[in-house]
A and B are shown apart, each in its own frame.
Chain A
Amino acid sequence: MLKIRNGRDFVGGAAMVIVSLLFIWFGRDLDVGNSFQMGPGYFPVMLSLLLIGIGVLIMVQSLVVTVKGEPDAPANWKAYALVILAPVFFGLAISRLGLVPTMFLMIVTVSSASKYADWRHSIALALFMTICSVVLFTRLLSLPVSSFGPWIPFLGN
């Protein structure tokens, strides 16, 4: 009976097959054409088929070859969530709160992803980053972001 000897590669190969299937599915309306006049779908479909092939090979390999891999570091879900959600928060808040509150809140919050975080350091860093980003981006580079957004009473515009 076949046994999965390398679980990580089995998942990896399967992930590649799934990715290719997604590309084929979402590109199903694209005209493939022929090799003389390739349609917009030709290149992605051929690549997806290639990637399915590679993915299957990786899966087959994972059934045959045992690999001694170094174990993963223990997952740190709090850090993952904070670091990944920080840019999402930034994207959602920047037009509503403005650069100053968004940057300040984001830095203070994301700092706590580290186990060495210290709230005094975090606030100092957040103030520093906020001032830097305001000077650099709204003054020097004149990006179209306001320091305070419409959700901030009195200061916002």
Chain B
Amino acid sequence: MDIFSNLLLGAATAFQPINLVYAFIGCLLGTAIGVLPGLGPTATIAMLLPITFGLQPESALIMLAGIFYGAQYGGSTTAILINLPGESSSVVTAIDGYQMARRGRAGAALATAALGSFFAGSVATILLAVAAPPLAAVALNFGPAEYFSLMVLGLVASVALASGSLLKAFAMIAFGLLLGSVGTDVESGMPRYIFGIPELYDGLNFVAVSMGIFGICEILRNLENEHERSVGVKKVTGLMLTRDDFRRIRGPVLRGTALGSFLGVLPGGGAMLSSFAAYALEKRISPNRAEFGKGAIEAVAAPESANNAGAQTSFIPMLTLGIPGNPVMALMVGAMIIQGITPGPNVISEEPDLFWGMIVSMWSGNLMLVILNLPLIGLWVRMLTIPYHLLFPAIIGFCCIGAYSINNSVFDVFIMAGFSVVGFALSKLRFEPAPLLLGFILGPMLEENLRRAMLISQGDPTIFVRSPLSLSLLIVAVIVLGLVLSPSISRKRDEAFTE
């Protein structure tokens, strides 16, 4: 089997001391930001991207990936202990996890979350190793038309899975694509929308844009209804699970892992949707569903497994096709481009060390996270006592330096400030920022492939339906769209997001 030699190759990269150190730093940071409410992985990764410029590509990506899945672990800690989800994907964990903690079973809930996450992470890693190469092999045959259709599918799916109004999500995609057209036109070399500003020849910097929209904008929202957190956490004891606990979580962990792995692959999916779906599923089929909401261990095990599985499998489309499915993956694509790697199906064959190293590091990172989270739980609880009024100035400080260091220019700092206003206005008008960033990242790729495809076909738009691959991708996009527009599904969708 090829896969073993590949995983060995990955292990050689992932277990290099320096990469282990960066994986550890990533997991540590990820857990920290997961614990701290008001600071999410998107903002953190955007903030740290400039720091990774000087690192080896493997180390940089291993660390950034660690932040993302580490946040899934950290988020559950606060959800369970103080009923405050540190991360959007832990919202449902808080329901029963906190009830367990109130009944003196905080240790068991934390252990369930960590072990479920570890199991899900290991399965998702294997899935990633098995599924990625064949997918990339298919994608190697992609021409411009297929790429265009694939990106259309990705954008449509991201709308389907976003919360709130569909029309508004489409508006955000179009707005994002428009923002992506700022800068020098690739085909003709004509400058577009640059207003004589030399820094704009390369387009808007997406790190600065996402720091504004996700980092600073989040602070503006948090300061609106600021209230002191009163942290009354009792000492956590009893991390061991009983035999009965193990029997009860077996099924939910397996189902959560399966569901999360599947939903994570979908564009626009990822950790949050997975945890909601897993909770909803368990609530329907669990023999102990009467206990749900009152501290059922199943209701902690399923969403926690699902969000970690989803976080991990969302790397699949990014690594194999170069298509980011969520804002964090978009930032990872950016990190690769900065390192001189073109994301896409060629990564596996051209950068096998990087690709397999990253996959193996996800497994070792998950192991580190179990170790970090269970015995060190006291440390994370202490971190909760850092008040927000000391946290947000530090975030602003790091964002400013981060934006400055992208190109050693203050221009990106101003862009960041500008987009914090844009993001804030959009959030006031109830527009979701995630599809905007996705459109912004995919915009230049989408345009390039559209124009190439039309050149090849000499202006005949049927090229998109003549190729069987492209046609099937578009058909899937239409089906997704149809599903979303159908009234019964959209009602279910609303329920899922309000629950």
Contacts and interface: CB of A to CB of B under 8 A. Distances in A.
Interface string B393-423: 1101111110111001011011011001100
B171 A58 contact: yes
A4 interface: no
B413 A87 contact: yes
A106 B454 contact: no
B408 A129 contact: no
A43 B413 CA distance: 28
- Chain A's interface size range is 35 or more
A61 B167 contact: yes
A153 interface: no
B431 to A, nearest CB: 6
B387 A116 contact: yes
B168 A51 contact: no
Given A30-B190, A79-B220, A84-B420, A125 B414 contact: no
A54 B170 CA distance: 8
Interface stretch (B116-124, B172-180, B271-279, B374-382): B172-180
A141 interface: yes
B495 interface: no
B171 A16 contact: yes
A146 to B, nearest CB: 12
A48 B430 contact: no
Nearest to A80: B220
Given A12-B168, A58-B171, A125 B390 contact: yes
B167 A57 contact: yes
B180 to A, nearest CB: 9
Interface stretch (B64-72, B260-268, B334-342, B455-463): B455-463
Given A27-B193, A87-B216, A133-B401, A107 B393 contact: yes
Contacts of B224: 73-76, 79
Nearest to A73: B224
A20 B187 CA distance: 23
Contacts of B399: 87
B242 interface: no
A63 interface: no
Given A16-B171, A51-B178, A40 B187 contact: yes
A30 to B, nearest CB: 6
Contacts of B168: 9, 12, 58
Interface in B185-206: 185, 187-188, 190, 192-193, 195
Contacts of A143: 401, 404-405, 408
B428 interface: yes
B162 interface: no
Contact of A83 (B223, B413, B450): B223
A125 B389 CA distance: 10
Nearest to A145: B404
Contact of B396 (A19, A40, A76, A110): A110
Given A51-B175, A133-B401, A115 B413 contact: no
Given A35-B459, A43-B447, A90-B400, A15 B190 contact: no
Contact of B223 (A11, A76, A88): A76
Nearest to B195: A26
A110 B393 contact: yes
Given A73-B225, A87-B403, A40 B429 contact: no
Interface in A75-111: 75-76, 79-80, 83-88, 90-92, 94-95, 103, 106-107, 110-111
B499 interface: no
B429 A12 contact: yes
A46 B168 CA distance: 18
A90 B413 contact: yes
Contacts of A39: 188, 190
A37 B410 contact: no
A11 B459 contact: no
B167 A103 contact: no
Given A26-B193, A116-B387, A84 B394 contact: no
B430 A8 contact: yes
Contacts of B455: 36-37
B126 to A, nearest CB: 37
B226 interface: yes
A111 B392 CA distance: 8
B244 interface: no
A66 interface: no
B193 A51 contact: no
A92 B405 CA distance: 15
A47 B443 CA distance: 11
A92 B216 CA distance: 18
Contact of B397 (A42, A103, A121, A141): A103
A91 B411 CA distance: 8
B174 to A, nearest CB: 4
Given A43-B181, A111-B389, A143-B408, A16 B175 contact: yes
Given A95-B410, A106-B397, A116-B228, A54 B167 contact: yes
B451 interface: yes
Contacts of B390: 111, 121, 125
Given A54-B167, A90-B413, A113-B392, 12 more contacts: A15-B425, A27-B192, A42-B451, A54-B171, A58-B171, A94-B410, A103-B397, A106-B396, A110-B396, A116-B228, A116-B389, A125-B393
29 contacts: A8-B429, A8-B430, A11-B429, A16-B171, A19-B178, A27-B193, A36-B455, A36-B458, A43-B177, A47-B177, A61-B167, A73-B225, A76-B223, A79-B224, A80-B424, A83-B392, A84-B420, A87-B403, A88-B417, A103-B401, A106-B400, A107-B393, A107-B396, A113-B223, A126-B393, A129-B393, A141-B405, A143-B401, A143-B408
